Structure 1
């Protein structure tokens, strides 16, 4: 089947999906009683700035939607984070940010720190069917299984066990929230992995997935991808979107299911 070339309009749409998904997730965490993670979401023009007081990692303190902002807008964004004593991550999407923006960021003390890939599947096209062994079973997570979710999330992604309780709390708020589905993967009835999806009826974003180290190499991550693709298609979505480290095992699994690169963004941080 001949595939259409990626366009700037598609790149813009994929980024929009990711921004809306992140904004909804951070809003859900912010709405926890007392906002214990200290979440703030600020808008500067068309740019969205995410911040968490207790979660210092770049994923929760990131600037999305950058285009060709002027010096005043960039200064306001930098001030937002410096007032909170946080170093932000800027995400620059190829084709949507020009060299002048990069020079302005460099002048403020920022430089490129990495790359990250955004992949997508056009669900109107045929995609690979599951041929998973009968040992793999995937179902939605039950409301009383969020401690289990936190355990799989942390141990599958290399986080320490003291993160289980906060991870459980920050994902429990997604249970029953419009558009969100969390899936549990079992290997021979033993919990082995998790996957998360947010859908708006037009597109679905696969926001997270992890497999326990002892269950890797069995096709679980791939099946979580295919399961979410099928569910997204049933919900009428045209696209499925996900992020991963470039050329990681997750990247290879995504391409094996028919997903392809939409763009590779540049991550910029304070040097």
Structure 2
């Protein structure tokens, strides 16, 4: 495992997720209780209205300053905050220890992180109609995304709002793919400050799967990332998923595994 590259990928993903929390915090009156705070130089974030591990994360130097991470996990335990640990898949066990505290790995939240130098990505040819979202198509993207990830009805507006800000610096990009004029798939990309284009969430309507839309969205985002001067492209996927196969087909290879851990009561 290339440790330096792994940390760069993790930093890019963290920036992407933080941007979505910042979008929520920017909603008038902050109705979702979203906030970004710091552990030394590590931005952490929390969303009171959402239990999702995507939006409630503590980052820090687990090796050099584990007690600072533990302190924040303890203070925010009521919001079910998590901290990501990385390594080879076989090294991420069910329990981990930070100081004297025991952390438990969340079921279903162990993913592989993939990466590739952008000039080595294998782009697929396609004729799909793909465009950047507008105020008119954002809700359509959010509907496809919510359906693909089984978002509960009470969290759908929150989920849409997390994409709505589009970040003042323009780093968050969202695309929709249309078939016969109808939005059937969509995906996000974050242009991280370290030069990595992080291919964020992607979803395809259930009745539109199997047509290569996800592969088309990968190629389109990489093409856009090249135009923005990115040097690397990275993404995440479950080990046994079609997303993994599509990423590998595009030339991305597994860098490391990431698992999310939560403080246990004992």
1:71-82 to 2 correspondences below 5 Å: 72-82=67-77
Label 1:218 to 1:176 Cα distance change in 2 as closer, same or farther (>3 A): farther
| Aligned residues between the structures | 258
Deviations 1:100-147 (A, max 9, x none): x94326x4242223521111121122x323233x4x211111222222
User: How far apart are residue 11 of structure 1 and its match?
Assistant: 1.4
Alignment of structure 1 residues 40-119 onto 2, 5 Å: 40-70=35-65, 72-82=67-77, 85-94=78-87, 102-104=96-98, 107-114=100-107, 115-119=110-114
- Give the Å deviation of 1:92: 0.6
Gaps of 5+ in 2: none
Tell me which of 5, 9, 17 is aligned to 2:4: 9
CA contact (8 A) 1:40 1:50 kept: yes
Partner of 1:58, secondary structure, is: coil
Q: 1:65 to 1:247 in 2, by over 3 A?
A: farther
Say which SS state the counterpart of residue 225 (structure 1) adopts: helix
Q: Which residue among 227, 233, 243 is the counterpart of 1:234?
A: 227
Which 4+ stretches in 1 moved above 6 angstroms? none
SS at match of 1:59: coil
Q: Secondary structure at the match of 1:62?
A: coil
1:129/1:207 Cα in 2 relative to 1: closer, same or farther (>3 Å)?
closer
TM-score, reference length from structure 2: 0.87
Aligned residue number for residue 130 of structure 1: 124
Say which is worse superposed, 204-213 or 110-119, in terms of deviation: 110-119
1:48 Cα offset (Å): 3.4
Residues 70 and 128 from structure 1, CA distance in 2 versus in 1: closer, same or farther, beyond 3 angstroms?
closer
Once superposed, what is the RMSD of the aligned Cα atoms? 2.5
| Equivalent position of 2:20 in the other structure | 25
Tell me the TM-score normalised to structure 1 length.
Answer: 0.85
- SS across alignment from 2:98: helix
Tell me if the contact between 1:156 and 1:193 (Cα under 8 Å) persists in the aligned partners.
no
Pair 98,169 (structure 1): closer, same or farther in 2 beyond 3 Å: closer
Unmatched 5+ residue regions in structure 1? 1-5
Q: 1:169 to 1:113 in 2, by over 3 A?
A: closer
Q: Does the CA contact (< 8 Å) of 2:113 and 2:236 recur in 1?
A: yes
Change (3 A) 1:9 1:145: same
